[in-house]
Amino acid sequence: MANQLRPMALTVIEPSPGLFHWALLESNGERSVFNRRVAAADEPYDSFDKAARAGLLNWVRLAGDDVRRGPRTVEVRTPLVPAPGPWTVTATGASALAAPAKTAPAQSSPATNSS
């Protein structure tokens, strides 16, 4: 669903003794399955806490201007399509039943007199 808090996790790994990397992972919707790396440290940190703090700062940055609500999924807006039928929208925005369209009376073709 659009515009929801993105399901993300921060992890810190130590690929070599004393070298720590952070990574932000995102879930595809399954609980506790984080299968997509969103961001990661370019360079190692010399301690777990430095790597964790840097990862958290980057996570908060993903929220952009709205840090109170956190990083959100992309909101997809579907354009509205008018419903078929005789409904119209008035100048005040209210719906009203449209008056039936006036049709011109059928013109009769001149009678041909073949006498």
Q: Could you tell me if residue 23 is inside a domain?
A: yes
Q: Could you tell me if residue 83 is inside a domain?
A: no
Identity of the residue numbered 40: A
Record the tokens describing residue 33, joined without a space. 């399955």
Please name the helix (run of DSSP H) or strand (run of DSSP E) that holds residue 23, with its range, or none: strand 19-27
Q: Could you tell me if residue 108 is inside a domain?
A: no
Range 80-83 contact pairs with CB under 8 angstroms and sequence separation of 24 or more: none
Q: Could you tell me if residue 54 is inside a domain?
A: yes
Tell me how far apart the 2 most distant CA atoms of the chain are, in Å: 114
Q: Could you tell me if residue 107 is inside a domain?
A: no
Q: Could you tell me if residue 40 is inside a domain?
A: yes
State the total domains in the chain: 1
Q: Could you tell me if residue 75 is inside a domain?
A: no
Question: Is the pTM value of this prediction over 0.95?
Answer: no
Residues of the domain holding 45 = 8-61
- Confidence at residue 7, expressed as pLDDT on a 0 to 100 scale: 84
**pLDDT, mean over the chain:** 74
As a whole number of Å, the CA-based R_g of the chain is 31
Record the tokens describing residue 51, joined without a space. 């790597």
Rounded to whole angstroms, how far apart are CA atoms 11 and 18?
16
3 state DSSP class of 96: strand
Q: Are 34 and 41 in contact (CB under 8 A)?
A: no
Q: Could you tell me if residue 78 is inside a domain?
A: no
- Confidence at residue 108, expressed as pLDDT on a 0 to 100 scale: 54
Tell whether the model's pLDDT for residue 96 goes beyond 70: no
Q: What is the average per-residue pLDDT within 79-98?
A: 49
- Confidence at residue 68, expressed as pLDDT on a 0 to 100 scale: 80
Distance of CA 73 to the CA centre of its chain: 5
